[in-house]
A and B are shown apart, each in its own frame.
Chain A
């Protein structure tokens, strides 16, 4: 299973972190710091996999963002790369050519999209269409809620 996923910028700023097994806050910070240093120091043509502690690390850079996953010994590295890619595709479809700023300003959406794709460290839904349909359904519920609120606000109610 996947142990965690990190998104961070070339400057080493974490943009998203999802931990699939209980980890102390302090430990999380330490792991992120170490891993980000290691990965940022690697050259572009290097292998996308590395052994680190008890994990296998799989990472890939998309524009200014690094996507990095920690998986277990028996897990499939190549397919983890493609989980990353599928996630990027979903973000891209949803935001319309996604950029780092989209993820910063809509971090909660980035989490919700990830939850459709991955759950508890395992892939949940690999179909792009189905994932996007689920997210669209969420947005629909939200728009309904917003619409109600706007009507109330217009009537001067809180």
Chain B
């Protein structure tokens, strides 16, 4: 038995532990334990009441057995009895048992709470401490309900000794975390802040933890702590290491307290008071300076503690994101750590730098370290460090370095750890899409991705490359060529076959002129993979074959042979069988013209957020933060494929009836896999019908009700009166403003004509589909709609109208027209849509406002409360704020208001305003010339039926315009 220097003399326990350790086998151990359990059970059951010491000893043995991993189903009562012992050690063991085992048995919780309450009220400080420690470690909701009111007194009372205060702070913290509502607020919250000034650093440390958590919930209540925390921090960082005696840790003054204070300050925006702000910046500078001083000790504890404070200071600097010098200094400091011999420091430096990369002030400084980070990716021996390097490369990537970073990540992917491959694939795909050097590069990159890590390329990634190839006709031929080449590899991934099948089916004709990739060669190449593929891929290939029949009539026979093959025609898979039968039939009965119409090239996909980005966000919730910050802060938004694709005229959808046979990349995918924006109304039951359903883009006539997802039609749409005049049509203005919060709906209706609108906006671009419906049974002749931009609008808004193919609208027929708009700068007026036509020999003219308003180029932004307040405060110059107090036009209803604001384009920030009735939102106007961030606060007043609307943006004209638009909605 080892020498138990300061054991508490429970000899029986020591003997038992020795016995267990001497057991040669698991069975022997179990036997010894069973024997002991039987012994204890009989002791507890015996008539003779056990003395406290024995009880303590047996309870302790049970505890030991439990910690060995065995179940304990008795002894709880004896442990609870120990709580009421007046001997400290017995009480202590009782509490330990409860703390370790209480989860497994809660029947006794009332008894336990009773004992704890007694001890809390005890005159003996050590008993109070035991009770507090127990609550702090295991506090539950029930405990919070009965004990929470007792604790604040202990914290703020002048009579409480320091040790009790410390425990009480952390005890209350636990209860607050477990059940925030049960912790009473009151005058103590004011006084607890002053503990930051306490003499005893242990008390200050514990109190800071408590305040930090409370302040996160209600920052307003603890605002005064900011200056207290700054002055405390300032005293610590300027003290010499001897000043704080035992609170100096390896020559670093009070590192724990410093870190806690720095974290508390991260709850708040930078202090407004210039003196406090200056003092804080001095502290931060001092911390950064100290990092450059030679170490006072060679011990790792010294450097760890010093750097712990440094990293927390950097976190605060990043959180404030207002001091360019500090940000750049922080970045340089982290740059030194990137090559430090300590793995831990390299890891943390990579991690912090990733945050710095998202600040506009330090993004450039971070980019300077690209080579080091790439080296880290290649040479670090620890996968968790390499993972950080990948994250940082992703974070620092922009247009200037995308090519190099993507190349390095692709190279690394060849040997990357399996655990991080999928995420890396997503990141490469996103970067390639976000910062394309050119589209051939983009296609090369994605195909490389499939080649290197095909297993990890999720459907989203290969769907996306197809979307982009479809929407960009300058890259289609190239894509067909490279995918054809890639398919020639002896072993190529099934995902490559899918992409190849789809792209060749659409654009195989573009390379068919070359003998080396003649129709027959293409077909044979694809078909050589057919038998190795899974059913969904085969289904896709069958669609490719029917498209080939259209593209290459000369090989129709061979293609029909494949469809006719029993393996397909009688396939056990119903989907394949149905495809083979239907395609074969189609190719037999349809004329070449019909076939050509049915199998016409796919129309462009509607622009929407990249589905891969959505996937990465889902995978790593913190990524989205970075994205949002980046989007919000970069003054020049890098052109993405989305924007530029929508920008090109060829991206407008065909106005002819949409070809139907152009199947989705994998038509057999279930509706949930439909990430391409192909959702053709309700998911069709049989996949094959899905195939024939027209893609949703602009094929369906605009339904009168706003069908655009969130954008519910909150207004009635009264039919407009018939009128013909050169002035604006009646109701035109009213209808116009309804479109402020919806994209689809009826713009105008009279007895003759109905005009529906379906619009989509992305960034500074928009596309409107106008649907002119002839309600009569006679034709409209000389039907000419024109769009004009009066006055200043012409320079602010670029409008391109596609002329109609026809100038007669038959009775009961509908024609559609596509209008592309591009927002150059902010604007007030709307384009004028004027329609002229002749009906029954008389000329009609209708003038309308095209529902394009500034907020259509609005994108929601999410941010946390601190960031919001930060920005809010920064926008305080005259003209940046617009406040309106007005009577409600519509009944005040929280849900409706929410819908309207969301429809308007704001991202709503819940929990920022302490009053839940108020709305706080943020968004960015994405004009081409500038992006204007916009913050909103809307406060309804039910009694008065009034609203107060406050808007802050960096541009006066934007503020005014948005306020005017919003005013009309509430």
Q: Which residues of A contact B (CB under 8 A)?
A: 1, 14, 16-18, 20, 22-25, 29, 43, 45-51, 73-74, 76-79, 81-82, 85-86, 94-96, 101-102, 104-109, 111-112, 115, 119-130, 134, 137-139, 141-142, 145-146, 149, 158
A–B Cβ pairs within 8 angstroms, 9 of them: A24-B103, A51-B387, A79-B308, A82-B304, A95-B6, A119-B133, A125-B206, A128-B246, A130-B246
Question: What 10 pairs between A and B have smallest CB-CB spacing?
Answer: A120-B136, A78-B308, A120-B174, A79-B308, A127-B246, A141-B88, A119-B170, A122-B209, A46-B382, A47-B343
Q: Give per-residue flags for B162-197: 1 if the beta carbon is below 8 A from chain A beta carbons, else 0.
A: 010011001101100110000000000000000000
* B305 CB–A CB distance under 8 Å: yes
What 14 new A-B contacts, CB under 8 Å, besides A76-B263, A149-B53?
A22-B138, A22-B178, A45-B343, A48-B344, A50-B384, A76-B311, A78-B307, A105-B17, A108-B8, A119-B167, A124-B205, A127-B247, A141-B88, A145-B88
Measured between alpha carbons, how far is A92 from B622 in the docked complex, in Å?
40
Q: Which residues of A contact B308 (CB under 8 A)?
A: 76-79, 82
Given A29-B69, A105-B17: A122 in contact with B206 (beta carbons within 8 A) = yes
- B87:A123 contact, CB within 8 angstroms: no
* B720 CB–A CB distance under 8 Å: no
Measured between alpha carbons, how far is A21 from B100 in the docked complex, in Å?
12
Given A14-B69, A105-B4, A130-B246: A78 in contact with B348 (beta carbons within 8 A) = yes
Measured between alpha carbons, how far is A158 from B562 in the docked complex, in Å?
96
Measured between alpha carbons, how far is A120 from B175 in the docked complex, in Å?
10
* Closest Cβ–Cβ distance, residue A131 to chain B (whole Å): 9
- B67:A107 contact, CB within 8 angstroms: yes
- A95:B5 contact, CB within 8 angstroms: yes
Measured between alpha carbons, how far is A24 from B307 in the docked complex, in Å?
36
- A104:B17 contact, CB within 8 angstroms: yes
Q: Which of A16, A76, A94 touches B6 (beta carbons < 8 Å)?
A: A94
- A109:B6 contact, CB within 8 angstroms: yes
Q: Which of B51, B255, B384 touches A51 (beta carbons < 8 Å)?
A: B384
- A82:B305 contact, CB within 8 angstroms: yes
Measured between alpha carbons, how far is A113 from B870 in the docked complex, in Å?
43
Q: Which residues of A contact B384 (CB under 8 A)?
A: 46-47, 49-51
- B344:A77 contact, CB within 8 angstroms: yes
* B637 CB–A CB distance under 8 Å: no
- B381:A46 contact, CB within 8 angstroms: yes
- B137:A115 contact, CB within 8 angstroms: yes
List B residues 229-266 near A (Cβ within 8 Å).
246-247, 249, 254-257, 259, 263
Q: Which of A82, A115, A137 touches B133 (beta carbons < 8 Å)?
A: A115
* B796 CB–A CB distance under 8 Å: no
Measured between alpha carbons, how far is A126 from B137 in the docked complex, in Å?
18
Measured between alpha carbons, how far is A122 from B166 in the docked complex, in Å?
11
* B104 CB–A CB distance under 8 Å: yes
Q: Which residues of A contact B89 (CB under 8 A)?
A: 138, 141-142, 145
- B126:A138 contact, CB within 8 angstroms: yes
Given A50-B384, A82-B301, A108-B60: A138 in contact with B311 (beta carbons within 8 A) = no
Measured between alpha carbons, how far is A149 from B257 in the docked complex, in Å?
43
Given A82-B301, A124-B166, A125-B166: A102 in contact with B92 (beta carbons within 8 A) = no
* B96 CB–A CB distance under 8 Å: yes
Measured between alpha carbons, how far is A21 from B693 in the docked complex, in Å?
53
* B597 CB–A CB distance under 8 Å: no
Measured between alpha carbons, how far is A95 from B4 in the docked complex, in Å?
9
Measured between alpha carbons, how far is A48 from B346 in the docked complex, in Å?
11
* B385 CB–A CB distance under 8 Å: yes
Measured between alpha carbons, how far is A115 from B829 in the docked complex, in Å?
69
* Closest Cβ–Cβ distance, residue A27 to chain B (whole Å): 10
Nearest B residue (CB) for A134: B163
Measured between alpha carbons, how far is A85 from B93 in the docked complex, in Å?
26
* Closest Cβ–Cβ distance, residue B172 to chain A (whole Å): 9
Given A14-B69, A101-B2, A141-B88: A81 in contact with B7 (beta carbons within 8 A) = no
Measured between alpha carbons, how far is A17 from B6 in the docked complex, in Å?
22
- A108:B93 contact, CB within 8 angstroms: yes
* Closest Cβ–Cβ distance, residue B22 to chain A (whole Å): 13
* Closest Cβ–Cβ distance, residue B119 to chain A (whole Å): 14
* B64 CB–A CB distance under 8 Å: yes
- A85:B301 contact, CB within 8 angstroms: yes
- A82:B249 contact, CB within 8 angstroms: yes
Q: Interface size (B, Cβ < 8 Å)? A: 76
Q: Which residues of B contact A76 (CB under 8 A)?
A: 259, 263, 308, 311-312
Nearest B residue (CB) for A20: B137
* B158 CB–A CB distance under 8 Å: no
Measured between alpha carbons, how far is A101 from B90 in the docked complex, in Å?
23
* Closest Cβ–Cβ distance, residue B655 to chain A (whole Å): 51
Measured between alpha carbons, how far is A115 from B167 in the docked complex, in Å?
10
* B140 CB–A CB distance under 8 Å: yes
Q: Which residues of A contact B1 (CB under 8 A)?
A: 105
- B170:A47 contact, CB within 8 angstroms: no
Q: Which residues of B contact A128 (CB under 8 A)?
A: 246
Measured between alpha carbons, how far is A127 from B139 in the docked complex, in Å?
25
* B298 CB–A CB distance under 8 Å: no
* Closest Cβ–Cβ distance, residue B104 to chain A (whole Å): 6
Given A17-B67, A106-B7, A127-B202: A49 in contact with B246 (beta carbons within 8 A) = no
List B residues 463-495 near A (Cβ within 8 Å).
none
- A82:B6 contact, CB within 8 angstroms: no
Measured between alpha carbons, how far is A74 from B266 in the docked complex, in Å?
11
* Closest Cβ–Cβ distance, residue A47 to chain B (whole Å): 4
- B259:A126 contact, CB within 8 angstroms: no
Q: Which residues of A contact B133 (CB under 8 A)?
A: 115, 119
Q: Which residues of A contact B174 (CB under 8 A)?
A: 120-121
Q: Which residues of B contact A43 (CB under 8 A)?
A: 381-382
- B103:A123 contact, CB within 8 angstroms: no
Nearest A residue (CB) for B384: A50
- B173:A122 contact, CB within 8 angstroms: yes
Measured between alpha carbons, how far is A48 from B382 in the docked complex, in Å?
10
- A130:B6 contact, CB within 8 angstroms: no
- B64:A107 contact, CB within 8 angstroms: yes
Q: Which residues of A contact B60 (CB under 8 A)?
A: 108
Nearest B residue (CB) for A23: B103
- A120:B170 contact, CB within 8 angstroms: yes
Q: Give per-residue flags for B279-312: 1 if the beta carbon is below 8 A from chain A beta carbons, else 0.
A: 0000000000000000000000100110110011
Given A25-B104, A107-B67, A119-B137: A142 in contact with B88 (beta carbons within 8 A) = yes
* B748 CB–A CB distance under 8 Å: no
- B305:A14 contact, CB within 8 angstroms: no
List B residues 1-24 near A (Cβ within 8 Å).
1-2, 4-9, 14, 17, 21
Measured between alpha carbons, how far is A122 from B202 in the docked complex, in Å?
12
Measured between alpha carbons, how far is A139 from B89 in the docked complex, in Å?
9
Measured between alpha carbons, how far is A82 from B309 in the docked complex, in Å?
12
- A22:B140 contact, CB within 8 angstroms: yes
- A81:B304 contact, CB within 8 angstroms: yes
* B201 CB–A CB distance under 8 Å: yes
- A138:B88 contact, CB within 8 angstroms: yes
Q: Which residues of A contact B545 (CB under 8 A)?
A: none
Measured between alpha carbons, how far is A80 from B305 in the docked complex, in Å?
10
Q: Which residues of B contact A81 (CB under 8 A)?
A: 304, 344
- A137:B126 contact, CB within 8 angstroms: yes
* B347 CB–A CB distance under 8 Å: yes
* B447 CB–A CB distance under 8 Å: no
- A79:B51 contact, CB within 8 angstroms: no
List B residues 194-234 near A (Cβ within 8 Å).
201-202, 205-206, 209
Q: Which of A82, A102, A120 touches B173 (beta carbons < 8 Å)?
A: A120
Measured between alpha carbons, how far is A26 from B311 in the docked complex, in Å?
36
Q: Which residues of B contact A105 (CB under 8 A)?
A: 1-2, 4, 7, 14, 17
Measured between alpha carbons, how far is A32 from B312 in the docked complex, in Å?
29
- B304:A49 contact, CB within 8 angstroms: no
Given A119-B133, A134-B163: A49 in contact with B347 (beta carbons within 8 A) = yes
